[in-house]
Chains A and B, each alone.
Chain A
């Protein structure tokens, strides 16, 4: 189970990464996260939206109301240039952490 803190820290980068692949709306983002993580990341539906609003206030994403053909209007979010920059920064930070973790969890080379 993913800890609360980890979940909190990873929310933003995950959202940025999903949006990097294109414009998307809240429900679909949650679906993708649930799907890709195989269920280990279960975000509370309602909590996503304040996060998105905060990210918009910080200028990382931009939103607009759109009604795709035949369906109801939804608020679509997309990445801004500074959002892309943030994503890059996050990715390299997480990569560093991952590499460090990975290095420490590989079988240790016996120092002969």
Chain B
């Protein structure tokens, strides 16, 4: 049977022996051959005879080859002496054209390259936007460089306790005494029931501020005059959103709002809504003096509960001003105790608070609280930036690997260019041009992705990054930097490698295609997967820690527990409310606290007990509660008893403490019961009971000593235990009890669980971002692996073909191909595990209560990476293995 195709192949092979006959020319002759052959067959000749005739008609190969040889000679003679192109646009355009054409021809690889770079860039850009947002906090004020917050270090036996709240009268006092202070602005949180006609709401975001607030800070007023809006004692300024809530589209200016059903305030201004990137937030502003009307003694020194901002004439004087404030307060203190020799002696022995100024713009990133707890976001900023760079690095590695893997195919082209006179520098430029083109396209794709996914990212990260942020100069600058760096990094390895090829080695007959990958490429893939594994481990640990925080026992029964804020007048209704609530069978217990029950944050110095070292100052948490506190919350007693009404001296004269206090006293809980304790104005009152430690703030905060006093009159938050199994029904009963006692006031309650959920929110968000980036990293690494695997499989076609012919099954071939990749990924674990361990350990240190770092997590991450890698590779391997070995061995 005459095989035309084989005959043509043989004929072509014979022609190829003439080296003036290149493949393209042989193709020309082939079409001529086929056309003639067809025509002869159409005339009626037999297949084989027609073929032979057509070949004969073609003419003698020697003659044809000779003619082509003459052409080449003429070409060489005609060639102008080589001058490297002076004007790079022409040459550059040629490189770009070549790059573009190459891409079109190898769509698969081009897609992988662009896709993985785009993903890496998009991730990096999102993080850059996030970082920009964090850095932009509070910078929108015109006076931002001159604005500072007064903070203090309080030194005691347990260490230095840092707070950023100050005393009521301090602001005006230091403004008068320290000339460098242009203006001091006090800022206090307050809340109340605000009513306009039928509309009444509990407002928690009310801030009482000195009138200079609107002058120093840039919260522009859309209605009203900045200088006078808060001048009058009964004025109030609303944000646009709040104004709309009460007044709809009516003009609010001049209208009256009633606070706590007792005090009338006139609306004197409407401010633009506070931007999202501000640590200073409010819905309503009232004059600081109004606090006095609400019943707070703002002339009293002694407790630190408000924020004092200062605007300095010269920002550089901040350190000096801090010292001056310290000096001022020290003098003030000594002045106050000068007539009390005992107090004076005590004072002499201790360190008084040191004051310092914290720049406003630093608060978001660097704020510190308590015993050195960093509550700013700087660490997150650093961590996320690191992660974004890692993902980008993985994407660059993809590019490098793919480009170099195909080096063998490019070698001829490079050799040709070099022979034509290209300098090594030109080759380098060409490849950088290619990486530039790919990066450019990836950038466009990344920008589109970022623009489209911005809202989703905002909800993921809990931010409100506006669309306009994509056009801000810092963002664009970062964009440019990322693109240039990526193009350079990604293009560096292939361009340097290929430009160093010597044409002689390239054009040698049968230039070898290496079936095994060089060390560096294996290393790069290992690094890629290593980084992915690190991210996977970190993500797993973060989620475990969140889970741990959520499920850790708080030391009391926090489920089915709600609290009701008693604002304003309703505070007085507490006894009646409690009685009414307890009438319901669905409500087993009611108690109350003076602070938000899920966040008891007040603490004080000055505790004393027998045997305590007077030099040793201790900071102890303090709160005032109602009777039935431990019982309602389900706090177990370590020793002693809870407060009981029967004991008349309990009220305002006794203490319940937690185990930490007993430990501080150096006593067992049993021994601590009955001991006299001096604290918060109560001299030598007995400790009636020691509660087992319980978390009175969310679990990410350390648990410290706490001493509790009972006084129902001081309760501002009612706590209700819900029972009976039907929670909505129980809540309904609470509400109806409320309405019975406080008919004019809206019912507002919160579940303890909801407060805790909210406080874990920041970690959840971080976990979510991490999850996405770990996923991105894995996807990008897999894309690279996929491209590499398919390329290498193609390269080894012949080898596979031979193996199959010799009897290997497809499955065995797949195993063979997969084995090599599996080894790389396993090696990656070796590198990744130590790095991941250090990273997570450092993060977990922040938490006083933390989950363990289980080895299982590392193994799991490694196994996951391995599984994904094998899945990626095996698909390609299977396809190659299934291919008919005859096809693979065809061109022998």
**What residues on A are CB-neighbors of B75 within 8 Å?**
57
CB <8 Å contact, A72 and B59: no
Q: Which residue of chain A lies nearest to B66 when distances are taken between CB atoms in the complex?
A: A50
A27–chain B nearest beta-carbon distance, Å:
4
CB <8 Å contact, A72 and B71: no
**Stretch of A14-22, A39-47, A81-89, A92-100 on the interface side:** A39-47
CB <8 Å contact, B25 and A54: no
**What residues on B are CB-neighbors of A47 within 8 Å?**
59, 63-64, 67
CB <8 Å contact, B68 and A46: no
A-B interface pairs (CB < 8 A), number? 60
B106 at the interface (CB under 8 A from A): no
> Which residue of A25, A27, A50, A73 contacts B36 across the interface (Cβ within 8 Å)?
A27
A51–chain B nearest beta-carbon distance, Å:
7
Chain A interface size, as a band, is: 10 to 19
CB <8 Å contact, A46 and B29: yes
- How does the 8 Å CB contact mask read for A55-96 relative to B, with 1 for contact and 0 for none? 001000000000000001111000000000000000000000
Q: Which residue of chain A lies nearest to B57 when distances are taken between CB atoms in the complex?
A: A45
- How many angstroms between the C-alpha atoms of A72 and B5 in the bound complex? 14
- How many angstroms between the C-alpha atoms of A41 and B25 in the bound complex? 24
**What residues on A are CB-neighbors of B71 within 8 Å?**
50, 53-54, 57
CB <8 Å contact, A57 and B74: yes
Known A26-B28, A72-B34, A75-B31; contact A45-B58, beta-carbon cutoff 8 A = yes
B23 at the interface (CB under 8 A from A): no
**What residues on A are CB-neighbors of B59 within 8 Å?**
44-47
> Which residue of A26, A30, A49 contacts B64 across the interface (Cβ within 8 Å)?
A49
Residues 68-124 of B at the A interface (beta carbon under 8 Å): 68, 70-71, 74-75, 78
CB <8 Å contact, B67 and A45: no
Q: Which residue of chain B lies nearest to A25 when distances are taken between CB atoms in the complex?
A: B31
B35 at the interface (CB under 8 A from A): yes
Residues 1-40 of B at the A interface (beta carbon under 8 Å): 25, 27-29, 31-32, 34-36
B668–chain A nearest beta-carbon distance, Å:
96
- How many angstroms between the C-alpha atoms of A91 and B788 in the bound complex? 59
Chain B interface size, as a band, is: 20 to 34
B783–chain A nearest beta-carbon distance, Å:
33
CB <8 Å contact, B68 and A73: no
Interface of A is mostly: helix
**What residues on A are CB-neighbors of B31 within 8 Å?**
25-27, 72-75
CB <8 Å contact, B64 and A50: yes
Q: Interface centre among A30, A47, A50, A75, by most B CB within 10 Å?
A: A50
- How many angstroms between the C-alpha atoms of A57 and B79 in the bound complex? 11
- How many angstroms between the C-alpha atoms of A30 and B58 in the bound complex? 11
CB <8 Å contact, B32 and A46: yes
CB <8 Å contact, A50 and B35: no
**What residues on B are CB-neighbors of A73 within 8 Å?**
31
A50–chain B nearest beta-carbon distance, Å:
4
Q: Which residue of chain B lies nearest to A43 when distances are taken between CB atoms in the complex?
A: B59
**What residues on B are CB-neighbors of A50 within 8 Å?**
64, 67-68, 70-71
**What residues on A are CB-neighbors of B36 within 8 Å?**
27, 45
**What residues on A are CB-neighbors of B70 within 8 Å?**
50, 54
Known A44-B59, A57-B74; contact A26-B67, beta-carbon cutoff 8 A = no
**What residues on A are CB-neighbors of B58 within 8 Å?**
44-46
Q: Which residue of chain B lies nearest to A63 when distances are taken between CB atoms in the complex?
A: B28
Q: Which residue of chain A lies nearest to B78 when distances are taken between CB atoms in the complex?
A: A57
CB <8 Å contact, A49 and B29: yes
Known A49-B25, A49-B64, A57-B74; contact A44-B32, beta-carbon cutoff 8 A = no
- How many angstroms between the C-alpha atoms of A89 and B589 in the bound complex? 114
- How many angstroms between the C-alpha atoms of A51 and B34 in the bound complex? 20
Q: Which residue of chain A lies nearest to B60 when distances are taken between CB atoms in the complex?
A: A46
- How many angstroms between the C-alpha atoms of A91 and B64 in the bound complex? 28
CB <8 Å contact, B32 and A49: yes
- How many angstroms between the C-alpha atoms of A64 and B60 in the bound complex? 26
**What residues on B are CB-neighbors of A53 within 8 Å?**
25, 68, 71
> Which residue of A27, A51, A75 contacts B67 across the interface (Cβ within 8 Å)?
A51
CB <8 Å contact, B64 and A46: yes
Q: Which residue of chain B lies nearest to A51 when distances are taken between CB atoms in the complex?
A: B67
- How many angstroms between the C-alpha atoms of A53 and B521 in the bound complex? 43
B592–chain A nearest beta-carbon distance, Å:
88
Binding site for A on B (CB under 8 A): 25, 27-29, 31-32, 34-36, 57-61, 63-64, 67-68, 70-71, 74-75, 78
List the 10 shortest-distance A-B pairs measured between CB atoms, nearest first.
A50-B67, A46-B59, A27-B35, A44-B59, A46-B58, A46-B64, A45-B58, A54-B71, A49-B28, A45-B57
Having A47-B64, A50-B70, A75-B28, one finds 14 other A-B pairs with CB under 8 Å, namely A25-B31, A27-B35, A27-B36, A30-B32, A44-B63, A46-B32, A46-B61, A49-B64, A50-B64, A50-B71, A57-B75, A57-B78, A73-B31, A74-B35
